[in-house]
Amino acid sequence: MPAAREPLLSVVIPARNEAENLAELIPEIATAVGSIPFEVVVTDDGSTDDTPAVLTRLANTGLPVRRVAHRRSLGQSAGLHSGVRAAHGALIVTLDGDGQNDPAPIPEFVAKLTAPGIGLVAGQRVGRKASLSKTVGSRIANAVRRAALKDDTRDTGCGIKGFRRDAFLALPYFDTMHRFLPALFLGDGWQVARIDVVDRDRRHGHSNYGIIDRLLIGITDLFGVWWLLRRRRRNPLRLEH
């Protein structure tokens, strides 16, 4: 029997109590990727719902789904980092577990990642589906971040992103790092591409991560990232692809 191919693409989904949404999202991902070899890695961030059973059922249908579990909720950046570390693919596309990120453009993210020098492809939401408080908070945080970090990305909170696994793991890890990925990749010498993506309504449940990290915590961490980018030397081992 020939050895199984390593997946080219790992779709990483940090999720907490999103069983109903994952049950619909993961089959959508399988349809969206088409002929691209792939796997789905879900970081179960301390869920107390039926997430483990849902992922087991999906895997039993033949879908290439794996679960990484946190004993307690550690937040979105921790979920992302754990999922990427467990991934087998050289290329990563991330999605939020709430189903608001449409997986249809995944092949476009993969195509852009194969261009020379591109380390990150950042999704930017259009037609944002969110409460007024989240929308206003996000706009304030994004405006302050863009002014300070010059990352030329209007929406770093968008959950759908694509990047090279090795380049991501070379970045410094810290809580809320997922909101600063364009600046971090640029600081390590990579180019960043951007794709406008459609934001969908949440189908089930409610948000598991509050808005406080979009304002007080996010803006506090902004100054740490600003300092880090000025003190960190560009990765001397990065090779042009």
Return the CATH number at 175: 3.90.550.10
DSSP state of 6: P
Residue 219 domain-assigned (yes or no): no
Q: Residues in the chain, how many? A: 241
For residue 151, name the pLDDT band (cuts at 50, 70, 90): confident
Q: Could you tell me if residue 216 is inside a domain?
A: no
Residue 186 has φ and ψ, to the nearest 5°, of -60, -40
How confident is the model at residue 160, as a pLDDT? 96
- Per-residue pLDDT band for 143 (boundaries 50, 70, 90) equals low
Q: What is the pLDDT of residues 66-95, one digit of tens each?
A: 999 999 999 999 999 999 999 999 999 999
Please give the DSSP secondary-structure letter assigned to residue 114. Answer: T
Q: Which region, left, alpha or beta, applies to residue 161 given φ > 0 means left and ψ of -120 to 50 means alpha? A: beta
pLDDT-derived band of residue 234, with 50, 70 and 90 as boundaries? low
User: What is the distance between the alpha carbons of residues 38 and 235, in angstroms, rounded to a whole number?
Assistant: 28
Give the separation between CA 125 and CA 119, rounded to whole angstroms.
20
CA Rg value for the chain: 17
CB atoms < 10 A from the CB of 239, how many? 6
Extended beta strands in the chain, E state: 9-15, 38-45, 65-70, 91-94, 118-126, 161-164, 191-198
In a domain, 73, yes or no: yes
| 118 in a structural domain | yes
Residue whose C-alpha is closest to residue 193's, from 161, 157, 224 = 161
Please tell me the distance from the alpha carbon of residue 146 to that of residue 159, in angstroms, as a whole number: 18
Q: Which of 148, 207, 204, 205 shows the shortest CA–CA distance to 179?
A: 148
82/131 Cα distance (integer angstroms): 29
Which range marks the domain in which residue 194 is found? 9-131+154-206
- Residue 125: inside a domain: yes
Please indicate whether residue 187 or residue 220 has the higher confidence score (pLDDT): 187
Identify whether 220 is part of a domain. Answer: no
Q: What is the pLDDT of residue 201?
A: 79
**Residues 122, 195: contact at Cβ < 8 Å?**
yes
Give the pLDDT band (50/70/90) at residue 233. Answer: low
- Give, in order, the Cα–Cα distances in Å from 183 to each of 67, 75, 186, 188, 212: 29, 20, 5, 9, 21
Asked if residue 215 belongs to a domain, the reply is: no
Which helix (H) or strand (E) covers residue 158, if one does?
none
Q: pTM score, two decimals?
A: 0.82
227 belongs to a structural domain:
no
Domain count, the chain: 1
